[in-house]
Amino acid sequence: MNKPDEKRKKKREYDKIRYLEKRDEILSKNRKHNKEYYLKNRDKILNHHKAYNKEYYIINRDEILAKTKKRQKDNRDVIKIREDIWRKNNIKRVRDNKREWNLLNNVNEKARQKRFALKTEVMRHYSNGTSSCKNCKANDLDALCLDHINNDGTEHRKTVGQGVYFWAKKNNFPPILQVLCWNCNFLKSRPKIITKNQRSDAKMKERTLKAYSPELKCNSCPETNPMVLTIDHVNGNGKNHRKSIAGGSAGFYRWLRFNNFPSGYQVMCLNCNCKREINRIRCSK
């Protein structure tokens, strides 16, 4: 072995011994230097990686897709568990991303138009092309609903879910449904007042309605039947308010009475109340 080779060998051994002695210090300096360099040239580094990854993907697209598909197929259960855990830990981010995507792609408006077209088709079929209530002939589509003629709607919805319009169209419009407005639907399904508590609740409701409308009249239409009149929250926060009050509708009327009938409430029939809520949801979306 000649002298230059011996020198190089000795130098390598010396460098190795020196590195092992000061390994932690050297690594710390390298990490610090790399971090400083990355922060200083972050955009440049990221753009370089993006350009390289894009070029690599274009060249090897088929191979990458095949590997990805195979990996997803072989690890389907594991991937699903990981996705569920990630969604559970990032609920706000998932909702924000979905809301942003829906806005960019106008998903809510397209879905609303699709639901409206489906409801219009179903209502026209069951009302012989008039799209009106069978009893009172109300023709505002937002105030109309499908009624089960045999009063078995609760049991039927347990089997088909909430998509009754879709179910009706899919099954060639079976003759077990009819078109009613919300007022007529409530009057049809409302049980007779027979017990003492029911009579007491009815009197309390009438007193509450008179406090907000002495003539017992809907604030938006000429409806005067107290059985279909209800108290509406002017600010539209009725759902959250009722959650804080126990006792259902009767409990809500008692709360209004005990608080001396505060402002912020109005009398509306079921038709107008439902139409107002539907319009509020549309505007919020």
CA–chain centroid gap for 277, Å, is 16
User: Is 59 domain-assigned?
Assistant: no
User: Is 201 domain-assigned?
Assistant: yes
CA 95/CA 170 separation, integer angstroms: 31
**Above pLDDT 70, what percent of the chain?**
95
Q: Which of 189, 224, 245 is the last residue of a domain?
A: 189
Average pLDDT, stretch 262-271?
92
User: Is 170 domain-assigned?
Assistant: yes
pLDDT at 5 exceeding the cut of 90? no
User: Is 94 domain-assigned?
Assistant: no
pLDDT at 267 exceeding the cut of 90? yes
Range of the domain at 200: 196-284
pTM of this structure: 0.62
273: closest CA among 209, 221, 203, 202? 221
User: Is 77 domain-assigned?
Assistant: no
> What's the confidence (pLDDT) of residue 85?
94
Q: Is beta strand 229-233 parallel, antiparallel or unpaired with respect to 144-148?
A: unpaired
User: Is 113 domain-assigned?
Assistant: yes
End-to-end CA distance of the chain: 83
Q: Does residue 208 sit in the same domain as residue 262? A: yes
pLDDT at 1 exceeding the cut of 60? no
> What's the confidence (pLDDT) of residue 9?
77
Q: Which residues contact 88 (CB under 8 A, 6 or more apart)?
A: none
- The overall average pLDDT reported for the chain is 87
pLDDT at 87 exceeding the cut of 90? yes
Cβ-based neighbour number of residue 177 at 10 Å: 22
Total domains, the chain: 2
Cβ-based neighbour number of residue 77 at 10 Å: 8
Q: Which of 158, 189, 220 is the last residue of a domain?
A: 189
Q: Diameter of the chain by CA atoms?
A: 117
User: Highest mean pLDDT: which of 26-30, 171-175, 202-206?
Assistant: 171-175
Structure tokens at 62: 């088929």
CA 227/CA 180 separation, integer angstroms: 16
pLDDT at 194 exceeding the cut of 70? no
> Residue 26: which pLDDT band, with cuts at 50, 70 and 90?
confident
**Above pLDDT 90, what percent of the chain?**
44
